[in-house]
A and B are shown apart, each in its own frame.
Chain A
Amino acid sequence: AQSVTQLGSHVSVSEGALVLLRCNYSSSVPPYLFWYVQYPNQGLQLLLKYTSAATLVKGINGFEAEFKKSETSFHLTKPSAHMSDAAEYFCAVRFTGGGNKLTFGTGTQLKVEL
Chain B
Amino acid sequence: EAGVAQSPRYKIIEKRQSVAFWCNPISGHATLYWYQQILGQGPKLLIQFQNNGVVDDSQLPKDRFSAERLKGVDSTLKIQPAKLEDSAVYLCASSLLGGSGGVGTDTQYFGPGTRLTVL
Identity of the chain B residue whose Cβ is nearest the Cβ of A101 in the assembled complex? B45
Complex Cα spacing A4 to B16, Å = 34
Total contacting residues, chain A, CB less than 8 A:
22
One digit per residue, 1 when the CB lies within 8 angstroms of any chain B CB and 0 when it does not, for chain A 30-42 equals 0010001000011
Docked-complex contact B40 and A106, CB < 8 angstroms? yes
Number of A-B residue pairs at CB separation under 8 A: 61
**A100 and B106 form a contact (CB under 8 A):** yes
Q: A51-B104, A102-B45 are in contact. Are A45 and B99 (CB under 8 A)?
A: no
A58 touches B (CB below 8 Å): no
Which residue of A41, A44, A46 contacts B43 across the interface (Cβ within 8 Å)?
A44
Asked if residues A46 and B107 are in contact (CB atoms below 8 Å), the reply is yes
What residues make up the interface of A, taking CB atoms closer than 8 Å to B?
9, 32, 36, 41-46, 49, 51, 90, 92, 94, 99-102, 104-107
Q: Which of these, A45, A51, A105, contacts B42 with CB under 8 Å?
A: A105
Answer yes or no: B72 CB below 8 A from chain A CBs.
no
- Who on chain A is nearest to B44 by CB? A104
Cβ–Cβ contact B41 & A100, under 8 A: no
